[in-house]
Amino acid sequence: MSVADDPMSAGEVSVRCCIAGGGPAGMMLGLLLARAGVAVLVLEKHADFLRDFRGDTIHPSTLEIMYELGLLGEFLKQPHQEVRTIGAQIGDVFLRIADFSHLPTHCRFVALMPQWDFLNFIAAQAKGCPAFQLRMEAEVTELIEEGGRVTGIRAETPEGILTVRADLVVGADGRHSTVRANAGFETLDLGAPMDVLWMRLSRRPTDPEQTLGRIDAGRIFVMLNRGDYWQCAFVIPKGGFEQVHQAGLASFREEIVGLAPYLRDRVSELGDWPDVKLLTVAVDRLRDWHRPGLLCIGDAAHAMSPIGGVGINLAIQDAVAAANILTPRFLGGEISDDDLRAVQRRREFPTRAMQAVQVFMQNRVIGRVLESTGKLSPPLPLKLLARWSLLQRLPARLIGLGFRPEHVRISAGA
Ligand SMILES: Cc1cc2nc3c(=O)[nH]c(=O)nc-3n(C[C@H](O)[C@H](O)[C@H](O)COP(=O)(O)OP(=O)(O)OC[C@H]3O[C@@H](n4cnc5c(N)ncnc54)[C@H](O)[C@@H]3O)c2cc1C
């Protein structure tokens, strides 16, 4: 029976590039390819981008990409907050540890914006390109392989199974990537000693302005200023949620108050456990990011730790590098294995370097804090960082730009 006659089929389409996953990596790659005239289809399994507790940080390097695309002015009209410095409270001591105001970029701040607003913005820009298609509620379930090459995918949609034939399939479907599992890629697991509990608490005008990490014996609490609410992350030892749960919500609320006493009048907003979301942290990367006809980028190629909030940034940088390398190939003919290898070669160093920093921080700082029982005081390197404001430019550069930032090299309608 042909696809056209199969009542369970949603049909078959052909594109140059099919991207699995409409997250930051997939949507940015879709925009860049379509803007240059490459026919691209992005498949996203959810019906919208409206999911809570995704990272909300848009870093200076991503804002620079928006500038290079001529979209920065419009983008900054979206509601957002601007974080220009980052501080930490360790025990009773407050320290400023990163200052973005000297970065060599147009925006010297991290923009905090709900990820769905960011993705809706990218989608709206991409939809202006005739070569762009986005299909929501399309969950990629299977790779189509012919003669040792990936030639397309199958996706479940409300209308039935959609078959997509493509010169290149890109797996941008995140940390639990179906594409990478189906492709049988080998994964290097770097481990993480923690998980994170995410929650919202309302913010009052009298609260401090600053985005802040609060660190004390056995506890780490991060508060992101989101205007009328705080987006809070409570870091727990890996697998420790059951213990927190058993101790009860009242005890959890008290832990929060112990770290940020001014939240006492509103911790009751955490009325039941569904108000507290567990996010398991993974740090890993693929040994090979590609096979003939297939490339993985973003978290699908390398799940990042939440340390530094750099995952979205890296995902977008991957998309920019992939578009820079692959667009001329799409426009000129075929995509070869060498082209895909070139994308991995370009992005592997920044990924490995950032993961090395994250693993160092996880093991030397976070793991130790979570194991500690006595009152904490800042270690010497942090004291020096706080005292010499010049030194605060270093973490700002690492967080804000990462290693070897990418730039858009492909013009519209290239
Ligand atoms: C606790 C925690 C906090 C974090 N906080 C931050 C932060 O503050 N800042 C930051 O920069 N990063 C943060 N990160 C990391 C960040 O979320 C990721 O690195 C980033 O979202 C990766 O982008 P991506 O596009 O590669 O994947 P994702 O954002 O995961 O997007 C993948 C997309 O693919 C879709 N999808 C999945 N499977 C399929 C399928 N089979 N078919 C079709 N679609 C599919 C998903 O619905 C999703 O839309 C955090 C991570 C964790 C775990």
Nearest CA to ligand 1 atom 50: 306
Residue 7: pLDDT band by 50, 70, 90 thresholds?
Answer: low
Ligand 1 centroid from CA 5, angstroms: 37
* pLDDT average, residue stretch 69-82: 95
E strands, 241-371, in order: 277-280, 284-286, 290-291, 294-296
Q: Give whichever of 85-99, 123-137, 269-283 has the largest mean pLDDT.
A: 123-137
Ligand 1 centroid from CA 24, angstroms: 7
Give 246's contacts (C-beta < 8 A, 6+ positions apart). Answer: none
Q: What is the pLDDT of residue 169?
A: 98
Distance CA 173, CA 25 (A): 9
Task: Please list every protein residue whose CB sits less than 6 Å from any atom of ligand 1.
Answer: 20-26, 43-46, 54-57, 139-140, 172-175, 178, 196, 279, 281, 298-300, 304, 306, 309-313, 315
User: Does position 243 have pLDDT exceeding 80, yes or no?
Assistant: yes
- Condensed to tens digits (0 to 9), the pLDDT of residues 25-52 reads 999 999 999 999 999 999 999 998 876 5
Nearest CA to ligand 1 atom 2: 306
Distance CA 291, CA 42 (A): 19
Do the bridges between strand 187-189 and strand 284-286 make them parallel or antiparallel, or are there none, so unpaired?
antiparallel
Which tops the pLDDT comparison, 260 or 298? 298
Nearest CA to ligand 1 atom 29: 23
The number of the ligand 1 atom at minimal distance from the alpha carbon of 155 is: 42
pTM over 0.85: yes
Find the Cα–Cα–Cα–Cα dihedral 159, 294, 152, 283, rounded to 10°. Answer: -20
Which tops the pLDDT comparison, 162 or 219? 162
Give 276's contacts (C-beta < 8 A, 6+ positions apart). Answer: 197, 198, 199, 234, 252, 270
Ligand 1 centroid from CA 298, angstroms: 8
- Condensed to tens digits (0 to 9), the pLDDT of residues 121-135 reads 999 999 999 999 999
Lowest mean pLDDT among 15-24, 44-53, 157-166, 317-326: 44-53
The number of the ligand 1 atom at minimal distance from the alpha carbon of 300 is: 26
Lookup: tokens for 145: 């392989």
Nearest CA to ligand 1 atom 52: 306
Mutate to test the pocket of ligand 1, among 86, 133, 157, 304 (most ligand atoms within 8 A of CB): 304
- Condensed to tens digits (0 to 9), the pLDDT of residues 144-190 reads 999 999 999 999 999 999 999 999 999 999 999 999 999 999 999 99
Find the Cα–Cα–Cα–Cα dihedral 205, 207, 210, 216, rounded to 10°. Answer: -160
Lookup: tokens for 338: 């060498």
The torsion region of residue 405 among left (phi > 0), alpha (psi -120 to 50) and beta comes to beta
- Condensed to tens digits (0 to 9), the pLDDT of residues 229-238 reads 998 999 998 8
Q: What is the pLDDT of residue 307?
A: 86
Amino acid in the structure at residue 88: A
> Count of CB atoms within 10 A of residue 48's CB?
12
As a whole-number percent, the residues of the chain with pLDDT over 90 amount to 69
Which tops the pLDDT comparison, 275 or 390? 275
Q: What is the pLDDT of residue 1?
A: 54
The number of the ligand 1 atom at minimal distance from the alpha carbon of 21 is: 34
User: Does position 62 have pLDDT exceeding 80, yes or no?
Assistant: yes
Mutate to test the pocket of ligand 1, among 307, 312, 317, 355 (most ligand atoms within 8 A of CB): 312
Nearest CA to ligand 1 atom 9: 309
- Condensed to tens digits (0 to 9), the pLDDT of residues 337-378 reads 999 999 999 999 999 999 999 999 888 888 778 877 777 777
- Phi and psi at residue 121, to the nearest 5°: -65, -50
As a whole-number percent, the residues of the chain with pLDDT over 70 amount to 97
Ligand 1 centroid from CA 299, angstroms: 6
Mean pLDDT, rounded, of the chain: 91
Ligand 1 centroid from CA 379, angstroms: 33
The number of the ligand 1 atom at minimal distance from the alpha carbon of 281 is: 53
Distance CA 318, CA 333 (A): 22
Q: What is the pLDDT of residue 28?
A: 98
User: Does position 3 have pLDDT exceeding 70, yes or no?
Assistant: no
**Under 8 Å between Cβ of 160 and 9:** yes
